[in-house]
Structure 1
Amino acid sequence: MRTSIFKDLQDPILFKKQLLAWGNQFREVVFLDSNNYPQEYSGYDCVLAVDAFTSIKTDYYNAFEYLKQYQSQTRDWLFGYLSYDLKNNTEDLFSKNYDGLHFPDLFFFQPKKIFLLKGNQLEIQYLNMCDDEVEDDFEEIIQSKESKDISDVNIKIEQQISKEKYLEKVGTMLTHINRGDIYEANFCMEFFAENVVINPLEIYTKLNTISEPPFSVFFKNNTNYLLSASPERYLRKEETKIISQPIKGTSKRFSDVIEDEKSKLELSQNPKERSENVMIVDLVRNDLSHTATKGSVQVAELCKIYTFKQVHHMISTVVSEVSHTTSPIDILKTTFPMGSMTGAPKISAMKIIEELEETKRGLYSGALGYFTPTGDFDFNVVIRSILHNSEEKYVSFSVGSAITAGSIPENEYEECLLKAKAMLEVLS
């Protein structure tokens, strides 16, 4: 079905830039970059998939069932996303909030052309129907140059929720927590700009350079774009092993080494941040248990501090084993949306989130990634991301934080602004 060709590269960092510049010509593009971030669970340093041979696009209704049929029939590489609103497929929930982006709830495609980079070795996989194009394409790639910036400067970014209204809404959420309706919920707000023209590739490049995260994405589906600097993995499947790595807990980076270490230490010892993380770990353990073999759910790492260019994060790793016969789609369906972006108990938290947030999340706090031909997969959490509909000329990014009984509304607002910093910087 596919022809594989291997090439050794002299300069993988330069090649990644050339590969993305070349790939941008296609209607469908997924470019994934780990930025060489050190991580225990890793497939490739960089992946590019372009040019759909087949695809699936649907709203939330029966979305996981349609995806299961598509994945089981193709048995090939599939790249795409699950939007947050697929919650309406798995639970008796709905979304009525404003949506300025109008992305499909689910989109996956089977690419004609795939590039898989690990170290200095590049594997090129083309469908047999176009494998005669490999060498010409490779020559084009190594001749490619980075795109010129044609983005608007000083884009006027607005908040959907004012600071005053944000503080008021967090107060309402704390009332729910004190009443016992929920223990924790992730509350988000949208920043947006209307009637703007941007160069998505240029914006992505700037965002990725600022953050250098392990789950960076440039995604394009015709006029729909995701430019993501995500630091978080949602779920990975390696044969029968499942890995979830929720993030809960954030602190600032400082240029002064002593201040930076102090910030890191304070995060590791912060009882509120640890309790946030532990609550979500319990939720993830419960989610994974739906498909896990008996007794296989384990916390491999609890509340470890990881350092990124912009922030320090507290991350836990939860693993499980599944049967060889378990459908990869069922593993996703029983864990989605991820606990770090919802709360506990999950369904109650999602209902309250829907009431208090003013915009539909859509792809934000969903997941983007891929399936391999053997049914393995790897998906990120769509955070620290800019979404763009070029036809509607609408640009959007959202940020949020976990609200618990110990939350101080003003501090939660400051955490949101910290997370928004990189996106605001590249758009202005």
Structure 2
Amino acid sequence: MLRIFHSDCRDTLKHKSLHWADSFSTACFFDSNQYADPYSAFDLFIATGVKKELIHTGKGSFNELDSFLAENKSYVLGYLSYDLKNDSEDLVSNNLDHLKFPEFHFFIPETIILIKGNEVHIESEQPEEIWRAINEFELSNIESADQKSKIQSRFSRGEYLDTVKAIQKHIQRGDIYEINFCQEFYAENTSINPLEIFSKLNKLSPTPFASYFKSDGLYVLSASPERFLSRRGSKIISQPIKGTSSRKTNAIQDENQKRALLENEKERSENVMIVDLVRNDLTKSAKEGTVKVEELFGLYSFKQVHQMISTVVCEAKESLSNPQIISNTFPMGSMTGAPKISAMQLAEKYERSKRGVYSGALGYFAPNGDFDFNVVIRTILYNENSKYLSFHVGSAITLDSDPEKEYEECILKGKAITEVLS
């Protein structure tokens, strides 16, 4: 049953809705933070409760998802972990895994809330009761906890620099052109209030693909600025990010930072390499001659950083299902490198932790056949049962990379997370 309500207090409604949703053992919400996006379908999307779910930890995941979607023409939300690369390629993931998340997890919710402007669409068996419960929720009753986590790294600074230099030797030999090399930061025996941490992160670093996913003590708290793949009608959209610079409080200095990023030949080269990789991935799903670069080197500013984002689009072949289209491009090129297979093999060799949900994708399938998935970056992963918390950061390594600058870029990307946890 669908009902439409109206509210002029968007921020208050947002906070009440999130806290109401968090009372369920399984919940998911996506927040666009009012960023202007021609492909966004909502300002806030909340889903709670489980009618059906699909959880898998082995081979055949995309085929299972295909069958699940074919049988259930409804909203389906969830994530795909990076390690599903092993599902379609002859690859392995043998690095340490302390988080113990399933390879993927999708569910059909009992209740869906879509907010766009001042319109609130509630689809549920009892939409009026849910609307009443949200509006009657008392934010003043929320207790704030003093939460601090002792963050450690799998790499010392020196070890990271030495590893980047070792990777550059592979580039010199021609094994790869570029690799997204990632390192894990983690905390053991730590207790946090995940919703409170997410709320702080979303306030400190609001992004267009912010998301919160919880299921039976497993949490994904994401401030992602990047879209992996979206479908609108027959159009497929990918928006890889390559190129990062810090923000400045002084307006003139901040503009100089943007200009320097746009004119940086190394950053432009990295962006072009990944755009070419994405174009190649999309040709597997595209009608002939429809793959094109809609925007190259777009400069977008977020609260913490400036980013260089390109947009690649195509028209999808009618014969392919949505999971097949996603599988053809997964994992996203911005998180692997080029050539893709060789880069993933070397990442497995030099990284010290299983990526898991990090650099995977979190999003939704809609009943009309559309979908939208982010890239899981700038994200905290938390296992409440084992009290293990983790976040990865990475950067693109090329022959021209300065290892010191790459390390500083990683620290910059993790700055907002570090702040909310410290």
Which range, TM-score by smaller chain? over 0.9
SS in 2 for 1:29: strand
SS in 2 for 1:284: helix
Aligned to 1:110: 108
Cα contact 2:2–2:127 (8 A) shared by 1: no
| Shift in Å, 1:69 | 0.7
Aligned to 1:34: 32
What CA distance in whole angstroms lies between the structure 2 residues aligned with 1:6 and 1:324?
33
Structural mapping, 1:245-284, within 5 Å: 245-284=239-278
Normalised TM-score (structure 2)? 0.98
What one-letter code is carried by the residue in structure 1 that aligns with 2:179?
Answer: A
SS in 2 for 1:98: coil
Aligned to 2:22: 24
Normalised TM-score (structure 1)? 0.97
Counterpart selection for 1:180 from 174, 181, 184: 174
Aligned to 1:318: 312
Aligned to 2:225: 231
What one-letter code is carried by the residue in structure 1 that aligns with 2:6?
Answer: D
Aligned to 1:200: 194
What one-letter code is carried by the residue in structure 1 that aligns with 2:222?
Answer: S
Aligned residues: 420
Aligned to 2:11: 13
Aligned to 1:370: 364
Aligned to 2:235: 241
1:160 aligns with 2:158: no
SS in 2 for 1:349: helix
What CA distance in whole angstroms lies between the structure 2 residues aligned with 1:334 and 1:124?
34
Aligned to 2:123: 125
Aligned to 2:286: 292
Aligned to 2:127: 134
| Shift in Å, 1:157 | 0.4
| Shift in Å, 1:227 | 0.6
Cα contact 1:187–1:403 (8 A) shared by 2: yes
SS in 1 for 2:50: strand
| Shift in Å, 1:298 | 0.3
What one-letter code is carried by the residue in structure 1 that aligns with 2:25?
Answer: R
Q: Note the alpha carbon deviations across 1:313-341, whole angstroms, 9 max, x for none.
A: 00000000013342001110000000000
Cα contact 1:207–1:229 (8 A) shared by 2: yes
SS in 1 for 2:51: strand
1:307 aligns with 2:301: yes
- Structure 2: gaps spanning 5 or more residues: none
What CA distance in whole angstroms lies between the structure 1 residues aligned with 2:29 and 2:45?
6
What CA distance in whole angstroms lies between the structure 2 residues aligned with 1:8 and 1:343?
45
SS in 2 for 1:66: helix
CA gap of 1:274–1:293, structure 2 versus 1, over 3 A, is same
- Structure 1: gaps spanning 5 or more residues: none
Q: Which stretch shows the higher mean deviation, 113-122 or 140-149?
A: 140-149
Q: Note the alpha carbon deviations across 1:184-235, whole angstroms, 9 max, x for none.
A: 0000000000001100000000000001100000110111001100000000
| Shift in Å, 1:145 | 3.4
What one-letter code is carried by the residue in structure 2 that aligns with 1:150?
Answer: A
What CA distance in whole angstroms lies between the structure 2 residues aligned with 1:137 and 1:322?
38
Structural mapping, 1:343-422, within 5 Å: 343-422=337-416
Q: Note the alpha carbon deviations across 1:148-205, whole angstroms, 9 max, x for none.
A: 222533x210001111110111011101111100000000000000001100000000
What CA distance in whole angstroms lies between the structure 2 residues aligned with 1:244 and 1:165?
34
Cα contact 2:39–2:232 (8 A) shared by 1: no
Cα contact 1:339–1:346 (8 A) shared by 2: yes
Aligned to 1:219: 213
Cα contact 1:82–1:368 (8 A) shared by 2: yes
What CA distance in whole angstroms lies between the structure 2 residues aligned with 1:251 and 1:361?
24
